[in-house]
Structure 1
């Protein structure tokens, strides 16, 4: 896989005790503006990456959030296809569901908020309780989605880019080791949003980094995603229990409503009687990708027929979490002033599998000193 750029950073101040954010002064660039004040008074910023055709990503240093993503339809009309808010503080709302954010130290769930590594048991915040079974979700109470990253605009291979860095201290949210993370967003002439992840540690620790953008290819706030047509190159999945924790099995999807090896509208089978769909309240599962090579390959496509917008997902990761916005309920109002109703956005989160630190048969998520985690995910947009 491609080696990403070394650390590029602005100066950073100390981690605050209140909401655990790093402070970074705005880097001098024409494509940056204020994204509002955080509760502790620090300022977040919004960076714009745009190519010559108008394809554009607006990304904040707060949470590494993809705030907006402007994509042309079959008539060339641009629309923002990423759910989110118009200021940083709203992303701290209690019900805000990780719109657009970078997720870490561990994306997805860890059963009962515990894992054992090298003979020592670690306890994590219990911040989720599906099926009345507690777990630690997306890094805990203050995950990477709620910190202010150090940001620097850059040009990589001629493409506009934003390099974000964050140092997660030993013991933060219960995780061992000081973890140094670099995430590079870049926009290419092919209307691609590329995300390159890199991490090192001074002590063995589980790491599972991902991005949690909610897509609606009609445009954010424009209704349900149930008519979007999804295909995933994934013949197997990791079934879950009532707490949405993997059982440890890896099973074929053939003959079930979780089979997207050929294109299906998301709403086509979502109400079929099925235990897995019942547990998730719809689709909220990890698919085992056919590509287990670690090379960047196409793993999924998404098509919205009315607009013609078409998205391809490429990744080096072994898993893909497809979540179809089951918990959106209309109480959150987005950038367009429209409420985000039930299933008005979907996530395709490239990842290692949930609860891997407790599942020895799953690909390991343990990063050790002297090793460097490298991972790449790319979202390519077109219209047809």
Structure 2
């Protein structure tokens, strides 16, 4: 049984835990923005690692927990790190980076000193294993993290490489892009199912509709990309590479093309609409290429994007879900513009009767404005990057 850590948006931990359970993993401990979990005991390590990276929609990054230990002094920290068989993962020219250190209420409080001790311990272990004086570090870069909380240390090896929100289909995110993993979280918060129509009235680069299409058609979020662990020394042999490839083909075989999905988006900016269309085309082409590899020529229907102001929209179906990321007034416009927009948005519940509505914003005034109009919203706090945002839901 192998131990892992998945990072996610703060507030998304229950959703990620549920997703892990559906994949057969066992969530063990939840902390803000983090979920520890274990693998399926009967499957090879590389298969567990592949499945976590390949299928999880709401995780931002996956780590292998190499060690969990008490670290209340630098000698223990250094000795424990140096005792790990790092040569199992790295080649002789690998560049090792300790990219992040976090300490909380611990005796080892200097993050810079902890970073140096961990890096030194790794280099010492590798030099000893390979009978070298100095590591060249001219090759592929790999990252390690360490968290120390209440003197309890977690030594972590990054398995993902590029963050998991980088699905591979978005060439540009526009002025204020939403991360794909956050869009996946919002869809789960709204309890959206493929049978329900879905519309995004402020679609921007199209992230929410595209993630909805991928979810509805069961397209694995890792279908168009690779991961850091695939280059680890222990997984470059033919047996491991075969297992990785088999999982990719299994994921492609699970793509559904027999379902009716009604997903759309709109924006009053024609450039945003064109960008959304381009991103959606690329996303569906990635899925199409995966299908072709298993001998299927099915086409994934593209979400429909139109140029329109939200105030000109009418509900296209008797019921559905409207999920949007309206401008916050931070990177797009100013707070006065945002407040004026929110006042206009209070008409949406009347225009979309019997629809479930969801809006994410970092402005508390949003809920106050809707409350004055007689509409009560449910509040789901989610930390989006450095912004303390909330998803406000009506009709759920």
The question of a shared fold, defined as TM-score above 0.5 by the shorter chain, is answered with no
Rg larger in structure: 2
**Larger fraction in helix:** 2
- Which range, TM-score by smaller chain? under 0.3
